Amino acid sequence: MDRYAVIGNPISHSKSPRIHSLFAAQTGQDLVYEALLGPIEAFAATVEAFRAAGGRGLNVTVPFKLEAFDLADRHTPRALAAGAVNTLAFDVDGILGDNTDGAGILRDISVNQGCPVAGRRVLLLGAGGAARGTVLPLLEAAPASLVIANRTASKAAGLADEFTRSGPLRPLGCGFAELAGQRFDVVINATSASLSDAAPDLPDGLYAPGSLAYDMMYGKGDTPFMRAAREQGAARLSDGLGMLVEQAAESFLLWRGVRPDTAPVLAQLRAGL
Ligand code: ATR
C-alpha cells in the first residue's frame, strides 16, 4: 500500500491522519496515512528515512515548513510565494515541495462559505508564515483591494512590498491603528493571537454590512477573534476547520489525482470537536 504521513513536533494532536483516511475510504484509494514525530534536530533525516522506506508523500506542519522548503528539489509557484512547504511529493525526479494552505483557505471561503473574494475588499491580519502563504492565492482571486495589517506595521509593509509585482493589484501594508475609517467585506485573522486567548486590537467599524470574519484558528466554540468580530458587527463568522480539511484535499489531489468531497469529512470533524 502507498504510504503517506504528516510530520511535525508535536504531532499527536494532528487531525490529518483521520482526514486522509476518510478521503481514501471515500475515493477508494489504497493508501495508509500515519502521524510522524519529527525530532527537532533531525527533520531531513526523518523525511529521507520515510522516503527510503517507500513513502510517497508527506504533509509538513509546525515547526518544519521552512526546512521542508529547503529540502525540496523543486517548488510549485504557490510554495515559492509562500516561502514555506506543507506538502512534499516524492517521485523519480526527486522531492516536489508544494503549499496548499492558501488554496485551502480560498476554497473554504469561496465554496464552503459561499463568499467569493472577487471584487471584495479584503483585510488580512498578520504578517507571519500563515499570512504570507495566503497573499498570492488572495491576489489571484481578484479582490477589489487587499490590505495587510499587522501589530508590527513594518512587517506588514514588508510583506505587501514583496507582492507588488504579482499582478495588477498592489496590496497595502499597515498597522492596526491605520485601519480606522476603512471598511472591509472579508477579514481574515492570520495572527497567532488566539493561541494566547487574545484577539488583535482592531479599531471599531471595520466590518461592512454582510461581511465575513474568518479565523484560521479553530477550536470548540468561537475563537477570541470571532467573539470580537461578532461584537464589532461582522455579519458572518467562520473558524479555520474548513481550511484544514480543504488544504488536506489539495494535498490529496496532488498525490492521487483525485479531489475528495470535503463536506462529509468536515461535518464529521466538526461533530468530534
Ligand atoms: P505564524 O507562522 O502562525 O504566522 P508567526 O510567524 O510567529 O506565526 O507570526 C505570528 C503573527 O501573529 C505575527 O503577525 C504577530 O504579530 P507581530 O509581527 O507584531 O509579532 C501576530 N500576533 C501574535 N500575537 C498577536 C496578538 N496578541 N495581537 C495581534 N497580533 C498578534
Q: How many other CB atoms are found less than 10 A from the CB of residue 70? A: 10
Q: Is 102-239 in the same CATH topology as 2-99+242-271?
A: yes
Ligand 1 atom closest to Cα of 131?
4
Would you please indicate which residues are annotated as catalytic (active-site) residues?
65
Residue 37: strand pairing partners: 8
Return the residue whose CA atom lies nearest to atom 29 of ligand 1. Answer: 200
- Confidence (pLDDT) at 165: 83
Return the residue whose CA atom lies nearest to atom 27 of ligand 1. Answer: 193
**Ligand 1 geometric centre to CA of 197 (Å):** 13
Report the CATH fold assignment for 2-99+242-271: Rossmann fold (3.40.50)
Return the residue whose CA atom lies nearest to atom 7 of ligand 1. Answer: 128
Average confidence (pLDDT) over 170-197: 96
**∠107-170-64 over CA atoms, to 5°?**
55
Q: Confirm if 124 and 146 have CB atoms less than 8 A apart.
A: yes
Q: Kindly state the cell numbers that stand for 38.
A: 519529527
166: confidence class by pLDDT, cuts 50, 70, 90:
confident
Average confidence (pLDDT) over 30-50: 98
Q: Confirm if 136 and 111 have CB atoms less than 8 A apart.
A: no
Best residue among 191, 194, 195, 244 to mutate for probing ligand 1, ranked by most atoms within 8 Å of CB = 191
**Ligand 1 geometric centre to CA of 233 (Å):** 23
Q: Which CATH architecture has domain 102-239?
A: 3-Layer(aba) Sandwich (3.40)
- Confidence (pLDDT) at 167: 80
What is the rounded distance in angstroms from the CA atom of residue 146 to the CA atom of residue 131?
A: 12
Return the residue whose CA atom lies nearest to atom 8 of ligand 1. Answer: 128
What is the rounded distance in angstroms from the CA atom of residue 18 to the CA atom of residue 149?
A: 34
**Domain ranges, ordered by start, for the chain:** 2-99+242-271, 102-239
Average confidence (pLDDT) over 56-66: 97
What is the rounded distance in angstroms from the CA atom of residue 109 to the CA atom of residue 134?
A: 12
3-state secondary structure of 105: helix
